[in-house]
Amino acid sequence: QSLLTQPPSASGTPGQRVTMSCSAGSSNFGTSWVFWYQQLPGAAPKLLIYRTDQRPSGVPDRFSGSKSGTSASLSISGLRSEDEADYYCATWSDSLRGPVFGGGTKLTVL
Amino acid sequence: EVQLLESGGGLVQPGGSLRLSCVASASTFNNFVMNWVRQTPGKGLQWVSAVTGSGTSTRYADSVKGRFTVSRDNSRNTVYLQMNSLRVEDTAIYYCAKIAVGGTTDFDHWGQGTLVTVSS
């Protein structure tokens, strides 16, 4: 069972803004950074957001990350068909001494 | 741009062994903390193991500790994952991934993955 909980699915129409959540349950993200990965069908994951709200070079500013207390969020504005993918949140776990991933959210662009 | 290429996956019986390799195309390979991350259809992504740039420090997920060994050969720009006592639940796509310099959970480069199937 993942320490990070994500809704299994989300959807939106082109041009819409979609927000996906990542919950740390009873734990608090505290000072831990949150990371987001995008996995297109048949491809390896790709780093989308690092250190909670930073975008790597080449990631459009349509993608944004935030966190508050026990929850983190990934928002996509101006939704496009090519955004249809699985999205995973991740953070460092001191107890496990390693990174942990959420179960992923499958985003469908209607 | 760093390129990572895994190999060594395949079909193995429960209790068997397999060694995965990951070659990196980067002259600064010995600066990278390298990781193995696996993906199963039912459980998503799971971090497996990490090795520091020098190879002197390693970490493992509890589920593989004592069975898997990560190592690296910086002269060959290669990281390895020796997997022993394999179980059905180890079936997954195994990715090697590089951590961004100074990072902990920011895997900024990934290989294409190699499939490991453990089945009788």
Contact criterion met (CB < 8 Å) for A35 and B106: yes
Mutate to test the interface with B, among A1, A2, A36, A37 (most CBs of B within 10 A): A37
pLDDT for position A28 = 65
CA–CA separation, B70 and B35 (whole Å): 9
Per-residue pLDDT of chain B (120 residues; tens, 9 = 90+): 899 999 999 999 999 999 999 999 988 999 999 999 999 976 799 999 999 999 999 999 999 999 999 999 999 999 999 999 999 999 999 999 999 988 889 999 999 999 999 999
Nearest-CA distance from A14 to chain B in Å?
A: 27
Chain B contact present for A2, CB below 8 A: yes
Residue A92, classified by CB atoms within 10 Å of its CB into exposed (0-12), middle (13-18) or buried (19+), is: middle
Please, how many CA atoms are within 13 Å of residue B56, restricted to the half-sphere of its CB?
A: 2
CB of A7 less than 8 A from some CB of B: no
**Site of tokens 């020796």:** B82
Nearest 10 degrees: Cα torsion B109, B36, B113, A23:
-80
Closest-CA residue of B relative to A44 is: B112
How many residue contacts between A and B have a Cβ separation below 8 Å? 58
DSSP 8-state secondary structure symbol assigned to residue A27: S
Shortest alpha-carbon distance between residue B75 and chain A (Å): 26
Contact A50 B103 (CB under 8 A): yes
- The pLDDT tens digits for A16-53 are 999 999 999 766 677 789 999 999 999 999 999 999 99
Record: contact B105-A2, CB cut-off 8 A: no
Question: What type of residue is A54?
Answer: Q
Partner-chain contact A98 B111, CB within 8 Å: no
- Cβ neighbors of A69 (< 8 A, separation 6 or more) are A28, A29
Question: Tokens 């995973």 identify what position?
Answer: A88
Task: Give the chain A residue nearest B104 (alpha carbons).
Answer: A92
Tokens of A90: 């991740």
| A71-110 confidence digits (pLDDT tens) | 999 999 999 999 999 999 999 988 888 999 999 999 999 9
Following DSSP, what letter does each residue of B76-118 receive, concatenated?
TTEEEEEE-S--GGG-EEEEEEEEPTT-SS-EEEE---EEEEE
Through-space distance between the first and last CA atoms of chain A, rounded to whole angstroms: 30
Cα distances (angstroms) measured from residue B68 to each of A67, B36, B88: 35, 11, 15
Please give the mean pLDDT across all residues of chain B: 95
Is there a contact between A96 and B62 if contact means CB atoms under 8 Å apart? yes
